A and B are shown apart, each in its own frame.
Chain A
């Protein structure tokens, strides 16, 4: 029982880091990015190939270094940021709304296909494995104590991420991002460089995705194409939407409800003979239904993003531009119009 609690908390902390990253892209900046799970996967793959040592035949993968786990995760984050910079600089320049989503969906599928088909990269469909209990031997932890250490590690990283994200959220950058989300033209009229700001947000978000991926693979110890699929992003979106898009507290709540809650609620489902995939499929059905219902009836989520009051008494008062009327209707400019 205690093992179960430790594992679900560890997973929850890791997914929360990913969701906070995605929340910067979708919640603040307003871009519905379908490539996000690609950054998680790249972070996971890179962490593996940087730590597990050289490939032995018949496996094949790039690099094959034996770096310490934290260094590997940092390099993995840098590589996801590079990929995000490339994808973002192409997709964010002129595209908004569904066109942006379609191009990012394309990008993640290209990555997925290359990861699965191009064997010299990450060993194709079989994937890379062999990262057992990272840092465990250095710290001299036995396999009974290790899960507690890893949980603590993930929680500490999550706490740092929450701190950084909270600071960023209230900063001029965070506020300016929301102003573009609400009205891109108005923000541009106030002298904001929309493209550069959105690209920055995109890369920062992807970095958190890569961080989450690195921690995830430290927990899973292996990664291959059946461990992730491009549409997995949708469960992260569901968590953000349920909790409250744009709000850090909301996203954390969303992870608790959509990952831990859903996992717990479907844990006692009867095993159906011949249907090994019954419980996961049932969870995905619930996720889909929740997603549709929340967009329709409560798009601001359970804990909505707070409206910022204008503190400048000499002004006319009222609410600042961060006001959230219908948070998920971002500006849907025509492609090419921006």
Chain B
């Protein structure tokens, strides 16, 4: 029982990172209807930005901010440089999806050229493990979870209670209707991608913090798990994605802890395939179609 609770504790850390990444992915999907295969690279770039700041003596907060800024800048660039042009030309979801795979290839290999293909170490002093209730967490892990919850709460407030959030919801429900109602859909989509990039970059930073190493390919590998969480929760639905992230994150930790960590990704894809085949619209299909369904 004790072992199970410890595993649950580690699973919550993984779930926090996964949920943020999946939320960012779902935001991108909700406003442009594009499954962004270069989403993982937002995380990777975030990790590299944090690494650079840390190398120059920056602290945890500065590194986190740098990661968010880097991720946000990349997401905005991908949206304005590629996605928005495709959407304006009326190119459909699948071809744009293919194009994002090309974008992913470009970013990965630019990072390979700049930083090399091998793993870089990202070490922060984790602090002594603390016992909180039945769980055992380091300071870094606590920082990861607290910040993830805070960001999610902030995101909820932005989407549900601000003017921008209202237009975001409108664009995600019906882009053309939102446009004729006087909402600048391109601008809303760009801002949403920026927001997603900020969250995704931060997710890349906490991912690097929690694993300790990263490479130009880390983000893409993690993206595959992100995809599982996002599809399980229902593409484009924030609340479902959040729950999907928590379930998949904890599930993976238990799978890795009790069966085999090497097959984690295979396990994630098994879940993904079953979900897509059995409940293609996600596990939690509700009546009201909103991104906070």
Within 8 A of A (CB), among B75-125: 82, 85-86, 89, 91-99, 101-106, 108-110, 112-113, 116-117
A234: CB under 8 A from chain B? yes
The answer on a CB contact under 8 Å between B85 and A106 is no
B218 to chain A, nearest CB (A): 14
Could you say which of A36-44, A199-207, A270-278 contacts chain B? Answer: A270-278
Contact of A284 among B86, B99, B105 (CB under 8 A): B105
List 17 extra interface pairs beyond A277-B116, A281-B113, CB under 8 A.
A90-B273, A102-B276, A106-B269, A106-B270, A110-B266, A110-B269, A113-B263, A113-B266, A284-B108, A288-B106, A295-B95, A295-B99, A296-B85, A299-B95, A329-B92, A330-B94, A332-B94
Contacts of A332 in B (CB 8 A): 92-94
The answer on a CB contact under 8 Å between A288 and B94 is no
In the complex, per-residue mask of A281-309: 1 if CB is within 8 Å of any chain B CB, else 0: 11011011111100110010000000000
Counting contact residues on chain A (CB < 8 A from B), the size range is: 35 or more
Report if A277-B117 is in contact (Cβ < 8 Å); known contacts: A97-B93, A285-B109, A296-B91: yes
A249: CB under 8 A from chain B? no
The answer on a CB contact under 8 Å between A277 and B112 is yes
The DSSP consensus for interface residues of chain B is helix
The answer on a CB contact under 8 Å between A99 and B280 is yes
Contact of A285 among B89, B98, B106 (CB under 8 A): B106
A150 to chain B, nearest CB (A): 30
- 14 A-B pairs with CB atoms under 8 Å apart are A102-B227, A106-B273, A231-B101, A275-B113, A281-B113, A281-B117, A285-B110, A287-B105, A291-B105, A292-B82, A292-B103, A332-B93, A336-B280, A336-B281
A335 to chain B, nearest CB (A): 4
Contact of B270 among A97, A98, A110, A277 (CB under 8 A): A110
**CA distance in complex: A288, B106 (Å):** 5
A109: CB under 8 A from chain B? yes
Binding site for A on B (CB under 8 A): 35, 82, 85-86, 89, 91-99, 101-106, 108-110, 112-113, 116-117, 220, 224, 227, 231, 262-263, 265-266, 269-270, 272-273, 276-277, 280-281
User: What's the A-B contact tally at a CB cutoff of 8 Å?
Assistant: 137
Binding site for B on A (CB under 8 A): 32, 90, 94-95, 97-99, 101-103, 105-107, 109-110, 113-114, 117, 231, 234, 237-238, 274-275, 277-278, 281-282, 284-285, 287-292, 295-296, 299, 326, 328-330, 332, 334-336
Contacts of A274 in B (CB 8 A): 116
- Chain A residue nearest in CB terms to B216: A281
The answer on a CB contact under 8 Å between B98 and A237 is yes
Contacts of A234 in B (CB 8 A): 101-102, 105
